[in-house]
Structure 1
Amino acid sequence: MSLSAKPVLISGAGLASLLFAQSLRQSNIPFRIFERDASFVFRAQGYRLRLSDEGLDAIESVLDPPTWTKFWDACGQTAGAGFAAWDAVTGEQTDHKMPEKLASRGGKVVGIARGDMRKVFADGCQDKIEWSKHVTGYELTEDGVRALFADGTKSDEGCMLVGGEGIYSKVARQLSGGKLKVFDTGARGIHGQAPATAFQGLGEGVHRLLDTSRGPGKDVSIITNVRPGELDDPTVRFGWTMATQPGALVAPNNDFSQIGKPAADMAKELTRHWAARFKPLFDQMQVEDAAFWKITCSSPSGVPVWQNEPRVTVIGDAAHSMTPAGGIGANTAVQDSALLGRLLREAGGFRPGVTEAYEKEMRVYASEAVNASYTLAKGAFGIEIDEESTPTV
Structure 2
Amino acid sequence: MSGADVKPILISGGGLASLLLAQSLRLAKIPFKIFERDASFAFRAQGYRLRLSTEGLDAIESVLDAPTWQRFWDTCGKTGGVGFSTFNALTGEQAEQIVPEALASRSNKVIGIARGDMRNIFASGCEDHIEWSKHVAGYELTDDGVHAIFADGTKSVEGSMLIGGEGIYSRVARQLSGGKLKVYDTGARGIHGQAPSTAFKGLGEGVFRLRDDSRADGAIFIITNVRPGDMDDPNVNFGWTMGGQPGVIRAPNNDYSIVGKKAADLAKDLTKDWHPRFRPLFEEMDESEAAFWKITCSTPSGVPEWPSDPRVTVIGDAVHSMTPAGGIGANTAVRDSALLGRLLREAGGYKPGVTAAYEKEMRVYASAAVHLSYSTAVGQFGVEIDEKSSPVV
| TM-score, normalising length: structure 2 | 0.98
Q: Which residue of 1 aligns with 2:104?
A: 103
Q: Which residue of 2 aligns with 1:70?
A: 71
Q: Which residue of 1 aligns with 2:304?
A: 304
Give the CA deviation at 1:145.
Answer: 0.2
Secondary structure at the aligned position of 1:326 is classed as coil
Q: Which residue of 1 aligns with 2:38?
A: 37
Q: For residues 43-101 of structure 1, what are the alpha-carbon distances to aligned partners after superposition, in whole Å with 9 as ceiling and x for unaligned?
A: 11152000000000000000000000000011000014853111111111111245532
Q: Which residue of 1 aligns with 2:374?
A: 374
Secondary structure at the aligned position of 1:174 is classed as helix
Contact 2:83 2:102 in 1 (8 A): no
Give the CA deviation at 1:372.
Answer: 0.4
In 2, Cα distance between equivalents of 1:359 and 1:156: 25
Q: Which residue of 2 aligns with 1:343?
A: 343
Contact 1:173 1:179 in 2 (8 A): yes
In 1, Cα distance between equivalents of 2:82 and 2:334: 28
CA RMSD of aligned residues (A): 1.2
Aligned letter for 1:29?
A: I
Q: Which residue of 2 aligns with 1:325?
A: 325
Q: Which residue of 2 aligns with 1:112?
A: 113
Q: Which residue of 1 aligns with 2:133?
A: 132
Number of aligned residue pairs:
392
In 2, Cα distance between equivalents of 1:116 and 1:47: 11
Secondary structure at the aligned position of 1:47 is classed as coil
Contact 2:340 2:358 in 1 (8 A): yes
Aligned letter for 1:242?
A: M
In 2, Cα distance between equivalents of 1:19 and 1:263: 31
Give the CA deviation at 1:2.
Answer: 7.6
Contact 2:83 2:101 in 1 (8 A): no
Q: Which residue of 2 aligns with 1:26?
A: 27
The answer to whether the aligner puts 1:170 opposite 2:171 as a matched pair is yes
Q: For residues 147-191 of structure 1, what are the alpha-carbon distances to aligned partners after superposition, in whole Å with 9 as ceiling and x for unaligned?
A: 000111100000000000000000000000000000000000000
Listed as ranges, the matches of 1:213-224 within 5 Å are 213-215=214-216, 218-224=218-224
In 2, Cα distance between equivalents of 1:46 and 1:286: 14
Give the CA deviation at 1:130.
Answer: 0.5
Q: For residues 269-305 of structure 1, what are the alpha-carbon distances to aligned partners after superposition, in whole Å with 9 as ceiling and x for unaligned?
A: 1111111111110111111111100000000100000
Q: For residues 84-126 of structure 1, what are the alpha-carbon distances to aligned partners after superposition, in whole Å with 9 as ceiling and x for unaligned?
A: 1111111111112455321101111000000000010000001
- Which is further off, 45-54 or 166-175? 45-54
The answer to whether the aligner puts 1:91 opposite 2:92 as a matched pair is yes
Identical counterparts, % of pairs: 73
In 2, Cα distance between equivalents of 1:55 and 1:122: 18
- Which is further off, 306-315 or 89-98? 89-98
Q: Which residue of 2 aligns with 1:262?
A: 262
The answer to whether the aligner puts 1:278 opposite 2:278 as a matched pair is yes
Which runs of no fewer than 5 residues in structure 2 stay unpaired?
A: none
In 2, Cα distance between equivalents of 1:231 and 1:98: 28
Contact 2:82 2:104 in 1 (8 A): no
The answer to whether the aligner puts 1:387 opposite 2:381 as a matched pair is no
Contact 1:46 1:239 in 2 (8 A): no
Contact 1:164 1:314 in 2 (8 A): yes
Secondary structure at the aligned position of 2:375 is classed as helix
In 2, Cα distance between equivalents of 1:249 and 1:387: 24
In 1, Cα distance between equivalents of 2:236 and 2:34: 32
Structure 1 residue runs of 4+, over 6 Å off?
1-4
In 1, Cα distance between equivalents of 2:312 and 2:155: 16
Secondary structure at the aligned position of 2:277 is classed as helix
Contact 1:83 1:98 in 2 (8 A): no
Secondary structure at the aligned position of 1:327 is classed as coil
| TM-score, normalising length: structure 1 | 0.98
In 2, Cα distance between equivalents of 1:232 and 1:97: 32
Q: For residues 236-269 of structure 1, what are the alpha-carbon distances to aligned partners after superposition, in whole Å with 9 as ceiling and x for unaligned?
A: 1100000000011110000001111111111011
In 1, Cα distance between equivalents of 2:69 and 2:179: 37
Change (3 A) 1:222 1:22: same
Give the CA deviation at 1:364.
Answer: 0.3
Aligned letter for 1:49?
A: L
Contact 2:37 2:136 in 1 (8 A): yes
Q: Which residue of 2 aligns with 1:146?
A: 147
Q: Which residue of 1 aligns with 2:225?
A: 225
In 1, Cα distance between equivalents of 2:225 and 2:368: 25
Which runs of no fewer than 5 residues in structure 1 stay unpaired?
A: none
The answer to whether the aligner puts 1:289 opposite 2:276 as a matched pair is no
Contact 2:83 2:100 in 1 (8 A): no
In 1, Cα distance between equivalents of 2:97 and 2:23: 40
In 2, Cα distance between equivalents of 1:175 and 1:87: 46
